[in-house]
Chains A and B, each alone.
Chain A
Amino acid sequence: MSLRNKVSIKEFSFYYGSVPALKRINLEIRANEIFAIFGPARSGKTTLLKSLNRLTDLVYGARHTGTILLDEKDIYDPKLSLTQLRRRVGIVFDLPIALPMSIYENVAYGPRLNGITRKKQLDETVGKALRSGALWEEVKDRLHTSALRLSGGQQQRLCIARILALEPEVLLLDEPCSGLDPISTASIEETLTRLKKDYTIVLVPHNIQQASRVADRAGFFLNGELIEEGTAYQIFTGPKEKQTEDYVTGRFG
């Protein structure tokens, strides 16, 4: 783990119409760490995640103040290419969303947009992504069958592989295991721990146990505010704030 800051969130507030979803967030996420954002439902976790690659732009009537830096560069800079940003900061959603095409085409979707059209190069990229997503062994013989026939856990790993095919720098994961059985969850967590040497990972875990298993550092969110951040060990064993303690010990949420 290096100490270089990959993402810096500065005084960032976000509103849906007039409803505030995030209030003056200040947060540094370091390169090659797994940072867990946790908190009860509707505390702004997903909004923060989607702000990091500006998927929030799709929401009509949304606005923000403050800013977010990626490698010291403002991601809200109007001169910055949105598609480039999204290629550098990839996201995996809470439900596995495989597009209704073959496994191969799903993974090749991003690289093709990136302008890779040579079959050989595409094959290599897809193979590599599926290997890092820990799905290769299970699907290598049926790459050209529909991705919708995969199980839920396999589909979620496909979604991870699909992002990895773009070789992003930051990986955002929004409760990636919420619909999955324990075995699939274990396999995804293992994948994440392995991936962190190459990527910076921001994870919304689907429970506290998961956060404590995989995260290096963590931040607790409540009602759109960042209550406390610190190393995962410190937050889960000796939180400074009362609210964090209540949540971690299961008194609410």
Chain B
Amino acid sequence: MTVEFKEKFIEKILLLIAFSSISILALIAFFIFGEGLPLIWKIGPKTFLLGGRWVPGQGEFGILPMIIGSFWVTFGALLLGLPLGLACAIFLCEWTPPWAGMILRSAIQVLAGIPSVIYGFWGLVVLVPLVRNYLGGPGLSILSGSLILSIMILPTIISISEDSLKALPPSYKAGALALGATHWETIWRVLVPAARSGIVASIILGMGRALGETMAMIMILGNAVKMPSSFLDSARTLTTNIGIEMGYATGDHRQALFATGVILFLIIMFLNTLAIVLSRRRVG
């Protein structure tokens, strides 16, 4: 009887552990919403989301410029990161001489291991002056931010796309080649479309990564609170808004930063759910 009791007891403990792991997500939601929602209700969701002015000193909290800023930077990062990442994934799956694949693979591992502050710093000392000197503007800009982000999301995009390309049955390739397609036509017309749900999932996760990046963006975006009008303008994102001001904010101001976190959290949850649903469909 004691053995059975011990087994039951262990099972309950493990269940408890598993639930406490996911209860962290609930706790996060509870505390972020608890701090942020009151302010959103106080000034009205519409003013908060669509207001163009962020002047904490005067109690004006509109985060539209940050939302726009976040999407510009993320869009820019995908514009560059997606073709680059997809090309690298194809390189790893299809055309690689083994030595080149190994080098690229370790390069990607190292890229994934570089701390984001280092990316930000490198952008600041190398990219920002280049942009300022050759393209004009302050240099601290959406363009610099997007360039850095596109490198930062590469490991995510490459590894997930590569997995989904690798998971395809070999018969797809053999079939296409047997019908007289060139190797490239096989890749581009058969393999890539067949792996598309995995590739889309990689894009979404890359997007999440880009939207969530904070420290690197604080260092290179310039952080101006205004509607960006070109890729050479400086900007502020949802994350950097929190990161810059959290250190000294109090009262309503602090709540407004948590409210910014609420919006960020909701966007990310939406993207996550999308990615999870998509990758589940790939399995099923």
Please indicate the chain A residues that have their CB under 8 angstroms from the CB of B3 in the complex.
81, 83
Q: Report chain A residues within 8 Å CB of B4.
A: 81
Q: Which residue of A lies closest to B1 (CB)?
A: A81
**What's the tally of chain B residues with a CB closer than 8 Å to chain A?**
2
| Shortest distance from the beta carbon of B185 to any chain A beta carbon, whole Å | 44
Tell me, rounded to whole Å, the shortest Cβ–Cβ distance linking B7 to chain A. 9
> Closest approach, in angstroms, between the C-beta of A251 and any C-beta of chain B?
38
Nearest-Cβ distance from residue B213 to partner chain A, whole angstroms = 42
User: A57 to chain B: closest CB distance in Å?
Assistant: 14
Q: Which residues in window 79-127 of B have CB below 8 A to A? A: none
Measured CB to CB, the closest approach of chain B to A86, in angstroms, equals 12
User: Chain A's nearest CB lies how many Å from the CB of B122?
Assistant: 45
C-alpha gap A231/B4 in the complex (Å): 41
Nearest to A82 among chain B residues (CB) is B4
Please measure, in the bound complex, the distance between the C-alpha atom of A249 and the C-alpha atom of B3, giving whole angstroms. Answer: 50
CA A157 – CA B3 in complex, angstroms? 30
Residue of B nearest to A83 (CB): B3
- Chain B residue numbers with a CB within 8 Å of A83 are 3
Q: Mark A79-108, 1 if CB is under 8 A from B, else 0.
A: 001010000000000000000000000000
Tell me, rounded to whole Å, the shortest Cβ–Cβ distance linking B68 to chain A. 51
Output the least CB separation between A21 and chain B (Å): 28
Q: Measured between C-beta atoms, what is the minimum distance from B137 to chain A in Å?
A: 61
Q: Nearest chain-B residue to A81 (Cβ)?
A: B3
Query: What B residues does A81 contact at CB under 8 A?
Result: 3-4
Closest to A79 in B: B1
In the assembled complex, the Cα of A81 lies from the Cα of B6 at a distance in Å of: 13
A83 to B3, CA, bound (A): 9
Interface string of B1-26 (1 = CB under 8 A from A): 00110000000000000000000000
Query: In the complex, A83→B4 CA distance in Å?
Result: 10
Closest residue of A by beta carbon distance from B4? A81
How many angstroms from the CA of A53 to the CA of B3 in the assembled complex? Answer: 18
User: Which B residues, 180 to 201, have Cβ-Cβ distances below 8 Å to chain A?
Assistant: none
* A38-92 interface with B by 8 A CB criterion: 81, 83
**A205 to B149 CA separation, bound complex (whole angstroms):** 64
Least Cβ distance of A83 to chain B in Å? 7
CB-CB nearest in chain B for A84: B3
Q: How far is the CB of B2 from chain A (nearest CB, A)?
A: 11
Q: How far is the CB of A88 from chain B (nearest CB, A)?
A: 15
Q: How far is the CB of B195 from chain A (nearest CB, A)?
A: 31
Residues of A within 8 A of B (CB): 81, 83
- Report 3 cross-chain contacts, Cβ distance below 8 Å, ordered by A residue: A81-B3, A81-B4, A83-B3
